[in-house]
Amino acid sequence: MKKLLGFVLFFLLPCSWCVGGEDLLLPSKQIYDANGQPIRGFLSNRDTYYFPVTLGEISPWFIAAAVAGEDKRFYQHRGVDILSVLRAGWQNIQKKEVVSGASTLTQQLVRSVQPHHKTMWGKTTEALQALSWEQTHTKEEILEDYFNRLELGNMTQGIQAASQFYFGVDAGDVSLSQAAFLIGLAKSPTRYNPLKHFTRALKRRDYILERMLAENFIDEEMYQLAKEESITVRTPQRPFEAPHFTRFLRPFILPETTYIRTTLDGELQRYAQQLIKTYIAKLNDENVTNAALVVIENSTGAVLAYVGSADFNDVRHQGQVDGVRALRQPGSALKPFVYALAFEKGLLTPASLLEDEDTFFEGGFRPQNYDKSFHGQVSVRQALACSYNIPAVRAAEKMGASSLLDVLHAVGLSELTKPADFYGLGLALGNGEVQLLNLTNAYAVFARGGIYKPLTLSLDPLIQLPGKTKRVFSEQTSYLVSNILADNHARAAAFGLNSALAVPFELAAKTGTSKDYKDNFALAYTPRWTIGVWVGNFDASPMRRVSGVTGAGPIMHDLAIYLQKKYPSDPFKQPEGITQARVCTDSGLLAGKKCPHTREEIFISNRLPSVCDGNHFKEESHPQIISPSTADIYKWDPAVASGLQKMLWTAVCPNKPCIWILNGVKHPQQSCQVWWPLAIGKHQLELMCGSEKTSVRFEVLP
């Protein structure tokens, strides 16, 4: 008889019902922040929330409720309950309609795996498959599969998903009353949907409790207590936070993984999202519709915040585009890597002088500065801090585009896939396209003292992006770059002392604006964390002259203030091998006895420049303005009486009177030392010495 049954089943049953061949149901994935708070869930391959658990993780009340309410002879039959079939048939004949199906738990399981039409043949096939299933599975395995596949409404599949959705607890922690309530939904999840028909669902619970009492699974006292227990179905909670990040993360999650604790700080993520929305609303009149940001913990490479757009649901402005990974031109944001490479090779120091003047480079490349002016000889410190374009190209020219491209690849900007000749020296000004995510991690290399680390997206399980930890720059080189980018006075000539880059703690910061104002960036870091912000439009339309310091800069500024409170960071620690020395500002060399203008600067100890011999200062033949120097910045102090706020003009004019001309107006005093009352603004000071003329530019800030 068994052989005959097996023969019949062999021809009747689909291959998916061969032993071990049941259909594959992949679990849902629940994404949490670093503190264990849910941020998003992904559906199973059946578009349900499905979190499989073992039978041992399920409350015994579920087993009792299911057996009593759905299949009281579950442990006696072999897949089909003949007595129930006969009873149901008699009832259906009497009522002249189908009022009872007599399906066992095994048959219900079969139906959930492979639904059949409600026909005689469909029911027969279902019964045969149930018999087959019982031959190859234990009762415990059948119950485990049943509870995991049970559909209980509102896209919940399985007892674990339902317990969490309706009651906010795991399947092992429900009460008797709650277990009966959920099992009651199985008969018709739509009819008994507790979010719409709570009273019906409650009556169905009472019926299940009655069946449990009748089958002696509970006693009278337990029945009464369970029936009197107040059932509260919580408000549906299916969070949808960090959608761009979770979408990025999903391909890295193994199919069998259901719980993912990410690196995100949920509180920081929500603050960052709101911050972007606030600023984009302010910039709407400037044709700015979107922004993105990322925050990285330097020591681990953990992504603490990841906002891909101002509004994920904003269809008009393509909110589902991920600005953190979109390819954009970074503009001046690549300049720190130009100078870092020059420091590393010993070609430049922070005191080295570079000419900022109208220049044609190889291939007819003729860069212009953001302010459309030229600044003469400037130090590397000033050139990087003020983001002058021409000196950066001169620095890149010393090394070549190929070397620069190699170092950009080394810090993780692998999206620069074209050969060096394609970019040319324009690579120094960001003519290639990079991702904000990788650019931010590249800046974290400086924060880590020259170490590159791959990014970490998840803590449990551990998920890291491809790559290896490696040293790219020396600690000394990284410190020089960080020291310059944190020098608010050095950048004041271009940005002022109170720009968005200025904060009340040590912060290395840099902006970048692409050609035609299509993109702008603001990058900033402390030893503890690194920020990257992009502002622009996903349709590539230009903004109305919104630069990095006015677009992305304010977002970065407020985020940095918030982070310093939440994740306090110490100032940059000077490593061994750094020497501070006085330099001649007219030559960029160590100050000698004949140097009239000097200042303090830092160097890599084994790469100190030579001592200036003073040949740049020829007192006997050429006029020279000794004070002020070009690009000097002075600050008006409102606490000091205006009559006391003066600066000394000093010059050398061999055998001739010093004739001063300020902003085109001749000064009445013809002395080579003049005390001039400070006046707020940018000024050009000229010195006429006979037929010769020289000039400097300086600024007085309010």
The pLDDT of residue 17 is 38
Mean pLDDT of 430-436: 97
Question: How do strand 632-635 and strand 692-701 relate by DSSP bridges?
Answer: parallel
Which phi-psi region, left, alpha or beta, contains residue 577 (left: φ > 0; alpha: ψ -120 to 50)? left
Q: Which range has the worst mean pLDDT, 33-42, 163-172, 501-510, 626-635?
A: 626-635
Mean pLDDT of 515-542: 94
Q: Which range has the worst mean pLDDT, 182-196, 535-549, 568-582?
A: 535-549
Backbone angles phi, psi at 678, to 5 degrees: -60, 140
Block residue for tokens 């970074």: 330
Task: Return the SS3 of 383.
Answer: helix
Confidence of residue 351 (pLDDT cuts 50, 70, 90): very high
The pLDDT of residue 216 is 95
Task: Return the SS3 of 235.
Answer: coil
* pLDDT(95) > 60: no
The pLDDT of residue 105 is 83
The closest alpha carbon to 396, from 431, 371, 372, 434, belongs to 431
Higher-scoring residue by pLDDT: 76, 393: 393
* pLDDT(120) > 80: no
Supply the residues annotated as catalytic.
70, 332
Q: Round to whole Å and give the CA distance between 346 and 367.
A: 25
Cβ-in-10-Å burial (0-12, 13-18, 19+) of 530 comes to buried
Higher-scoring residue by pLDDT: 242, 630: 242
Assess contact for 308 and 269: CB atoms under 8 A.
no
Q: Round to whole Å and give the CA distance between 74 and 66.
A: 10
Backbone angles phi, psi at 193, to 5 degrees: -55, 110
Confidence of residue 155 (pLDDT cuts 50, 70, 90): very high
Mean pLDDT of 251-256: 92
| Helix/strand number for the chain, H first, E second | 21, 28
Tokens (6 digits) for 563? 């982070």
* pLDDT(125) > 90: no
Please list, in sequence order, all residues whose beta carbon lies within 8 angstroms of the beta carbon of residue 641, skipping any fewer than 6 positions away. Answer: none
Q: Round to whole Å and give the CA distance between 165 and 145.
A: 20
Task: Return the SS3 of 240.
Answer: strand
Q: Which range has the worst mean pLDDT, 134-143, 275-284, 594-603, 614-623?
A: 614-623
* pLDDT(601) > 50: yes
Mean pLDDT of 201-216: 96
* pLDDT(619) > 80: no
* pLDDT(28) > 50: yes
The pLDDT of residue 11 is 37
DSSP alpha helix (H) spans, 79-197? 82-95, 105-113, 120-136, 139-149, 159-167, 176-185
Confidence of residue 9 (pLDDT cuts 50, 70, 90): very low
Q: Round to whole Å and give the CA distance between 668 and 521.
A: 47
The closest alpha carbon to 615, from 638, 586, 637, 647, belongs to 586
Confidence of residue 580 (pLDDT cuts 50, 70, 90): very high
Confidence of residue 2 (pLDDT cuts 50, 70, 90): very low
Tokens (6 digits) for 347? 């070609």
Assess contact for 276 and 269: CB atoms under 8 A.
no
Assess contact for 554 and 560: CB atoms under 8 A.
no
DSSP alpha helix (H) spans, 411-466? 420-423, 436-447
Confidence of residue 182 (pLDDT cuts 50, 70, 90): very high
Tokens (6 digits) for 511? 């902006």
* pLDDT(1) > 50: no
Three-state SS letters, 263-281: CCCHHHHHHHHHHHHHHHH
Q: Round to whole Å and give the CA distance between 241 and 659.
A: 67
Tokens (6 digits) for 129? 């498959």
Q: Round to whole Å and give the CA distance between 333 and 353.
A: 21
User: What residue ranges in 199-324 does DSSP mark as E strands?
Assistant: 259-262, 290-297, 302-307
The total of other beta-carbon atoms located within 10 Å of residue 399's CB is 20
Tokens (6 digits) for 288? 């700015």
In terms of average pLDDT, the best of 14-18, 135-139, 315-319, 656-660 is: 315-319
Assess contact for 557 and 507: CB atoms under 8 A.
no
DSSP sequence for 2-56: HHHHHHHHHHHS-GGGSTT-PPP-PPPEEEE-TTS-EEEEE--TTSSEE----GG
Q: Round to whole Å and give the CA distance between 9 and 660.
A: 108
Mean pLDDT of 641-647: 78
Q: Round to whole Å and give the CA distance between 183 and 84.
A: 20
| Burial state string for 609-644 with b = 16 or more CB within 10 A and e = fewer than 16 | bebbebebbeeeeebbbbebebbbbbeeeeeeeeee
The total of other beta-carbon atoms located within 10 Å of residue 371's CB is 13
pLDDT digits (tens, 9 = 90+) for 227-239: 999 999 988 778 9
* pLDDT(85) > 60: no
Question: How do strand 29-32 and strand 259-262 relate by DSSP bridges?
Answer: parallel
Higher-scoring residue by pLDDT: 96, 331: 331
Confidence of residue 440 (pLDDT cuts 50, 70, 90): very high
Q: How far is CA 551 from CA 276, 513, 543, 677, in A?
A: 11, 10, 9, 36
Backbone angles phi, psi at 266, to 5 degrees: -55, -40
* pLDDT(564) > 70: yes
Percent of the chain exceeding pLDDT 70 equals 91
Please list, in sequence order, all residues whose beta carbon lies within 8 angstroms of the beta carbon of residue 534, skipping any fewer than 6 positions away. Answer: 291, 292, 293, 323, 324, 328, 436, 519, 520, 521, 552
Q: How far is CA 171 from CA 159, 182, 185, 228, 458, in A?
A: 6, 10, 15, 21, 26
Enumerate the β-bridge partners of residue 698: 632, 683
The torsion angle over the Cα atoms of residues 472, 302, 274 and 238, rounded to 10 degrees, is: 150
Enumerate the β-bridge partners of residue 538: none
Assess contact for 195 and 236: CB atoms under 8 A.
yes
Taking each helix axis as running N to C, give the angle between helix 139-149 and helix 105-113, from 0 to 180 degrees, rounded to the nearest 10: 50
User: What does the mean pLDDT of the chain come to?
Assistant: 89
Mean pLDDT of 564-591: 96
DSSP alpha helix (H) spans, 501-583? 552-566
Confidence of residue 19 (pLDDT cuts 50, 70, 90): very low
